[in-house]
Each structure stands twice: as C-alpha cells, then as structure tokens.
Amino acid sequence: MTDIDTTVVEQTLRIAARPETVWQYWTDPQLIRDWWGAADLDPRPGGTCRIESASGGVMRGEFLELVPYERIVFSFGWEPTDGAPPIPPGSTRVEVSLVAHEGDTVVTVRHTIPADQAELHRSGWAAHLPLLAAAAGR
C-alpha cells in the first residue's frame, strides 16, 4: 500500500444495483453529479474528465480506457486552486472495475501514483527498469 510506484489506495464496495446502472453513474455527467460533483465528461479514450466537487476542488484528467459495464480507467489530479492537494491534473491513475455478483455490482477502485515510465526512459534509466521492477515486487 505504501510502495513508491504501485498502489496507494484500493477499495472495494458492493452495490445493490446492476453494473449497467453503476456504469452510468461513472460516465453520465448528470448522474455523477449525484455523488461526486458537477462534471464535464467525454467518456472515450482521450476524452476529458473534469469534476467540480461541492467542497470546491476541481478534479481534472482524461479517460484512458473504457470497457462498457466492466472497466473505466482515467487519469486524475487537481487543478491548482487554493487548498487543492498538489497532485497536478492527470498525474495519477484511477482504475475502476465493475463485476456482476448475484444481481449486485462489486466495485473496485485502484488509485495509484504511478512511476512515469516515459520520464524514466528519457533520463536514460531504461536499462535499470528490470531491476526497479524486481525491487518494487512486480
């Protein structure tokens, strides 16, 4: 849980609703408003994901992967407003999985602060990646 470049937070929750319903609550701007905030969502790879929560923080990232009713991946950060955590827009990654179970949906959220592989390559560290991966236990 406190690895440098792997999972920071993982949570699982069972919801008494079908995956189709839960999916809509992640991808429909009118519905995400009911639990997160006013949203500007373009749910396709590369599409915008911007959510203004009631507390004032603005989350901004982009959708990376969508498998209808099963999986949503998006990048996650906050716009630099007063009191916002210093995680820049798009700098962390959230993976959401929806699994049907006896008519309910098991929702798992995995939020990671990932190591930036591209940055590692640019700075000449590609040769060390296998070592790093071993050290990180992956």
Q: Which residues bind another protein (CB under 8 A)?
A: 1-5, 8-9, 11, 13, 15-18, 21-22, 25, 31, 34-36, 85-88, 91, 105, 107, 109, 111, 113, 115-116, 119-120, 123-125, 132, 135-136
Q: CB 70 → another protein: shortest distance, Å?
A: 16
**Nearest distance in Å: CB 92, another protein:** 8
Answer positive or negative: Cα dihedral of 42, 43, 46, 50: positive
**46 or 85: whose CB is closer to another protein?**
85
* Nearest distance, CB of residue 67 and another protein, angstroms: 18
**Which residue is it, tokens 């995400």?**
32
* Closer residue to another protein in complex, CB, 66/98: 98
The letter for the amino acid at 115 is A
Element housing 66 (H / E): strand 58-67
- Residue pair 70/98 in contact (Cβ under 8 Å)? The answer is yes
Amino acid making up residue 26: W
| Shortest reach from residue 71's CB to another protein, in Å | 16
What is the C-alpha to C-alpha distance for residues 106 and 22, in angstroms, rounded to an integer?
Answer: 10
